[in-house]
Amino acid sequence: MAPVVERASSAPHFLVVTYPAQGHINPARHRAAPGARVTVSTAVSACRKMFSDHADAAAVDHVDGAGVRYVPFSDGFDAGFDGDITDYISSLKAVGPRTLDSVLARLRDAGTPVTQLVYTQVVSWAADVARAHGVPAVLYWIQQATVLAAYFHFLRGTDSLDQAVAAAASNPWADIRVRGLPPMRVRDLPQGRSTGDDHHTYAFMLRDMRELLDVLGREDTPTVLANTFHAMEPDAVATLSQSGIHVVPIGPVLSFLDASAASASNNNNNNDLFKLDGKGYLEWLDAQAAGSVVYISFGSSSAMSKRQITEVARGMAESGRLFLWVLRKDNRSEVDGDELKLCAGGGMAVEWCDQAKVLSHPAVGCFVTHCGWNSTLESVACGVPVVGVPQWTDQGTNAWLVERQLGTGVRAAVISDKDGVLEAGELRRCISFVTLDVVRAMAELWKEKARGAAAVGGSPQGVRCRGGRPRRQLASRLVGHLACMALFCKQTEGRRTYETRRLAPYRTVDVASVRTTEKNSALYPR
């Protein structure tokens, strides 16, 4: 057995430490590249959900269906947490470093010492743990690079951005200029900006970003691996680089683009925080016409109110369109049955599904989404037009990218109250718009760009490693980079106005023949 341990200890070993949320875990877990190993470490509570078949998911290490190894740390709430987010973050910062230190020590003593630690946002304290063990650490930014640029310039007060945002905070339509980025509005900026209230729901985000930038500031050459690709966010990459942060685009990091980038059907990693619904939704999709189904999902964290569920159900019933709707079990208590009866016979509601397989299915022609970054990347890589219904954090910025930069979708208008409800009529109108041929063409164009970037590691020039060959597998891209480092609307007196304009900076679709009507509207406001 000794030779085996020796070989294991000499091989590169990458530990990826991530926050225990589905949107953080997904881009963190990927198969080890040949000659290296990758271990994922997230909270015990998440591992218990992902490996619920095990008697004690916290006591042992796990390997999921895709061959990824998990070694959990504790956040102080091993049984799970359903309280105030600020209380959770405080516990995570207090307990997490101590238990992660034990993880690194245990891996070292087992003959598989960590040679490089990769951490995602919210767990930037992992970099200090790595430093204490003499292990180099690098940030893996799993959101849009534009979000990082906006936070950076806001917190640094670049061009008095912080003051400009504070002055315009009450007007979501106010124009804001962030150095190096295309024009934005207040509503397009990531949430978590200064609220003046340390107990505000989003206050922890701003504190976390300050801590993250402080960690990067302690590095001689701050470097960030970003789950994006250069053609999609050249301005964000450039402005961060000019500000001293070297951003390496390695995306789109999506499991179904692994290896040959062929089909999501080869992805067998089903260890999500939610169990897949046993209904035959893929078989149901097989029976539908190409592009005929509207896929609806607001992600793993967003909760839908009873009012919102009713509006979505009514909108789909009135549209007469087929749909596949993810309505999580923790949302079902809000449903008394009448809402789903409104659209009975028009589609299927499931508790959870394999989203990559759904978006890759030819029957799906539209995606109604909360615009989480993973969902946004998946929609782009699958060529599916988007109706964006952002709710918090980075989602408004992701919707801005889809609508204003890519031209592959539209941000829906919601009622301006604390719930931000998407009404049935607006849902119908947005779906009608994004299923126009001109939007489909843009979605197909960006699908080609995304898959081309995936083949060469996120850069249009390709990413070449020591052997000179492009790294083509997703995990190989991540490991390779580490080794190489050693539209449409505006409010006008309560009405909607439209006009035809260019779709996006990278557009190649001729829209000279596109007529400007309410049914064939433009992506951009005046």
For tokens 């685009």, what's the residue? 249
- What are the tens digits of pLDDT across the range 278-324? 679 999 999 999 999 999 999 866 678 889 999 999 999 999 999 99
Lowest mean pLDDT among 99-108, 409-418, 435-444: 409-418
Read off the pLDDT band of 434 (50, 70, 90). Answer: very high
Tell me, which fold does domain 2-142 have in CATH? Answer: Rossmann fold (3.40.50)
What does the H/E/C string look like for 105-147?
A: HHHHHCCCCCCEEEECCCCCCHHHHHHHCCCCEEEEECCCHHH
CA–CA distance, 249 with 193 (Å, rounded to integer): 25
* pLDDT (mean) for 43-47: 86
Q: Residue 460 is encoded by which pair of tokens? A: 């249009």
Tens digits of residue pLDDT in 134-155: 999 999 999 999 999 999 999 9
Q: pLDDT tens, 149-205?
A: 999 999 999 999 999 999 998 999 999 999 999 999 999 999 866 545 555 666 778
Q: List the chain domain ranges.
A: 2-142, 145-249, 276-447
Evaluate the omega torsion of the peptide bond into residue 234 and state whether it is cis, within 30 degrees of 0: no
Stretch 262-274: mean pLDDT: 46
Going by C-alpha positions, the residue among 499, 523, 291 that lies closest to residue 409 is 523
Say whether 276-447 and 2-142 share the same fold. yes
Sequence-distant (≥ 6) Cβ neighbours of residue 320 within 8 angstroms: 346
Which tokens sit at 256?
């179904």
User: Considering the entire predicted model, what is its pTM?
Assistant: 0.83
State whether residue 265 is helix, strand or coil.
helix
Average pLDDT, rounded, for the chain: 79
Buried-exposed string 185-221: b where 16+ CB fall within 10 A, e elsewhere:
bbbbbbbbbbbeeeeeebbbbbebbebbbebbeebee
**Amino acid identity of 296?**
I
- At residue 352, φ and ψ (nearest 5 deg) are -165, 155
Confidence of residue 336 (pLDDT cuts 50, 70, 90): low
State how far the Cα of 393 lies from the Cα of 192, in Å rounded to an integer.
7
Residues tagged active-site:
24
pLDDT tens-digit readout, 215-260? 999 998 999 999 999 999 999 999 999 999 999 999 998 878 865 3
- Cβ-based burial of 519 (10 A; exposed 0-12, middle 13-18, buried ≥19): exposed
Higher pLDDT, residue 432 or 191: 432
How would CATH label the architecture of 276-447? 3-Layer(aba) Sandwich (3.40)
- pLDDT, residue 465, reads 34
